[in-house]
Structure 1
Amino acid sequence: MKCVPLVFLVLWSVSSATPRGVSNEDIRDAILSLIHMFRDSTDKLERHEYRERVLGDHLKKALSSLDKRQRTLEQNTNVIAATLTRLDERLRNLETKVNQQSNDKDKNVYTVDTMQGSIQNWMTNMESLVYNISNRRDGPSGGNERVDAMEAALSARVDNLASSVERLEVHLLRPTSTAVAAVDTTAIISHIDTQLARLQTAEPEHDWHSMFLGALGGHEHALTEIKQMTENVARSVDALATKEEVTGLLNNTHEQLQEIKYELVASTDKGFLKVQNKLDDAHKSITTGQEELHKTMTDASVLAEGFYSDVQKSYEQLLKEVKGLAKVEQVMIQTADNVLDTKRRIEYGVHQILLEIGDLVKLQMKDLNMTVNKRFDNISFTILDNQNGGLTNLSSKIEHEISQVWRQIGIMYQQLTASAGALDRLQQQTDAYVNGSLQTMDSMEGKVGQITGRMGEVDDNLNYLLGRLSLVTQEFNQIKSGLGEALDSIKSSFKTVQEQIKDVGPGPNPIPSEETDVDNQV
């Protein structure tokens, strides 16, 4: 707005000035001075724009660095939270393992008690069996002889059965003699069935007879299954195709191949005719294209002649315009005397405008520095407040989790003491049982060896549990050291951020050397 009255003054002075004689050199000097002034003003404006761009780039880089640091801090907090969750999961797994081991110990104690009762029952049963055997030896021996004879007969029949099964396998491997094999196997199976029926009709004289009959029943079931398998094989052999059917199939396939060959020959002939038709169509299209090209060439020649006539007309118009420009040059010479008068006035006005623009730019730079400093201060305060709050929450959570860990360790120690007491009671019971009687000790020598082996396994489990506890303590110490390192890294990052953020103050601020050089040039 301040430049408007200056422009009016310049125009009024131009209108009120008395013209005088002006030479071509004066006009040239005035035009060159105007060109230099405009170039200087454009250079200054470009430098100011460049400085503003550089400042904007620095601000963007600073904001991006702050965003990256905030993201890294968030990632560190996420990592710490993940480690805490892993610690919780490991503690839970440790609790479950301790509970499982306590349950296994209870089961071992229960199995030891049940083993004691079963061993006592076994001893009583053995004594009763020995007594019964002694009584049977005192009785008649006719039953034993019959049992031996029965065993020999059964063994012979089992051998015959095995040989018959082998013969059956050989016959099954021969596809030509399936009928004979089927007849032999059916005869053998019928013979075995009759023998088994005769044996079953005999009256059992002893408990061993019933046991052998049960075994023979199992063999009978197996033989019936073999019989069914042989019948299925015979049916499959009968269902096979004959030689005549195979030759018929071959003849049919040969006829189909001949038909396919004829169809292929006919299709190739049709394709050749189609290709010939397409070639004829292409030849016709090429001839029509040549005719169209000839027509276009004739049209182009006509257009070229018209264009030549238009060029001649435009050349005549250009000559007329050149004459008009000569007249305009005379008018410019007449108006050049006023340009020299307005030269110095325009320079003075432009100089004042540049001074005012420089003052406005300085004021705006001060305001911009003030706002940027305030924003950086607010950002730093908010970041520090957020991080302090996060650190306090994290420290409280870590203390709570560590207290829970120590509580779980105390519970585990109590459980271990309880298991040690149970082991002591078990040792006392085993000592009392071992010192009971020498006769039972001789008979239970193998069982006591097993019990001592299980005791060794229990000791190994306890050693494994102690090793796991030591591993847990080592992992806890590693987590503790990792948390300390993470906190130290966070503190160091905060220190670096505080060192990088410089308190410039409200102003005035020094101007760089490039701006001072520009002012000196002006």
Structure 2
Amino acid sequence: MRPVIIGFLLLISTIFVNGQAQNPVSNQEIRDAILSLVHSNSMLDQKLERHEQRERALGELVKKGLMTLQKNQRIFEPIKGSFDRLDKRVSEIESMLLNNEKQGREEQQKLANLLEKILTAFEQSASAAQVSNRISDGSDEDDESLPKKINDLTDMVRELRREIGELRADQNTIESTNKNLVAQAEEIMKQKENQADLIAKKLEEKLSKLSSNNGGSELETKIASTLSELKTGLKELSNGGNGGTSGFTIADKQFLKELYNDTREAIQEVQLEVLIASDKSFAKTATRIKETHEAVDEVSKAMLDLTSAIESINSDSIKSDGTDKMAKLEKIMIDTSNNVLETKRRFEYGIHQIILEVGDVMKTANSSMQKRLNELNDGILENHNNALVNLSSKIETEMSQVWRQIGIMFNEITSSKKVLDHLQEQTELYVNGTIITMDSMEGKVGLITNRMQEVDSNLNYLLGRLSLVTQEFNQIKFGLGEALDNIRSSFMTVQEKVKQNVGPGPHKIPEERDNDEHALGKRSFPIFTRQRLN
């Protein structure tokens, strides 16, 4: 800028020097021209700075808008993951139920195997009883075979006791398996309840996260009209308190409460049904086992009576005849075999009843549990699907409005960009015209510098001539001084002669004085001055 001002000043000075004779320019006009030029340049700089600031502000605005849009899109991304995790949890629940059903079937199979083992044991005891009957039928044999028969009977009693111990062990295993089934059912119910609570909590967290990011950036304050509807929707989801709104809208809150209550009620009902069924099965199993214990006690009592009778027979057979004793022994053995067969029948019937009742109870419990779980699963899935559809529709409407506002902003930005491009073109044209004028001024300044050099050479010539003029003036001054001195002396002589009283009359003027006066006139004007005057 300074070279331009200096060039302009040189141009004004040369014009002033060159055109003094034709059109003189005052210093005030030059000063006004310089100030107007400086003012125009400062205004141009300010306009360019303002345009640059507007472009920067517009770029920052667009950048912040894109950043906020990306943030809003990132907010909706975790929803997909949450629903995927929810689907995984539902699939895990289904697989868990299938595994539990499979385990129940395995336990039923184990129970059936144990009951088959018990039946086989009773069949073996029945065969042993038949052998004892055959032995009793052959009572006409010799008395020497009696100790052998007694030993066989004692072996049979021991076998029966062993089988009764195995039956008690199987009973304990059945009780433990039933307890394990009930515990597993309770754990499953607790897991379902915990999963329902987790699902509700996760839904609340996700819906609260949707509304947590309502920051106060400059873009939100500048384009509040653009995102106002989305903000109000999210604030209705996020503003909690006593004013009628919680983390959700009233409909969403009511829906989640109903879903949570239905889930808890269904789980509690299933749990109660399982507990009731297990209690019934336990009670029936306990009664049957008690009856079996009573029958086994009766059998053991009969066996003890039989052994005591056999011992008494053995002691008395030595002293007396064995005919009556053998008859008594045969009668006792027949009664014992009948008691054993009756106990076997009772035991088989009790076990069969236990199996049927346990099977019925397990079937009803499994069917009711399966039905309840299916209803619960269907209800949860239906409610979740409805909530997802409602949420997706709301999100679609809000996003459509956001995209519409973004389209309006894009059109406004494109129009402002066109205006800025047009302004930039005008600025470029103005700057190019200024550059052209500056180039022309630079050429004129070059011409002025050449003229200044010529003026400098002419001034040197004038200074030389002025020195000659001063010398001639000094010579004229000196000659004039001498002439004035001579005139003074001549006036003095004339004055002295006048003072002399010579009287009237003609006076004789000597010729020498005339000659002196002509000589004085010749000395007072040198040759150089006469030539100069001519």
User: RCO (CA 8 Å, sep 6+): is it higher in 1 or 2?
Assistant: 1
Task: Say which one has the larger Rg.
Answer: 2
Normalising by structure 2, we get a TM-score of: 0.32
Normalising by structure 1, we get a TM-score of: 0.32
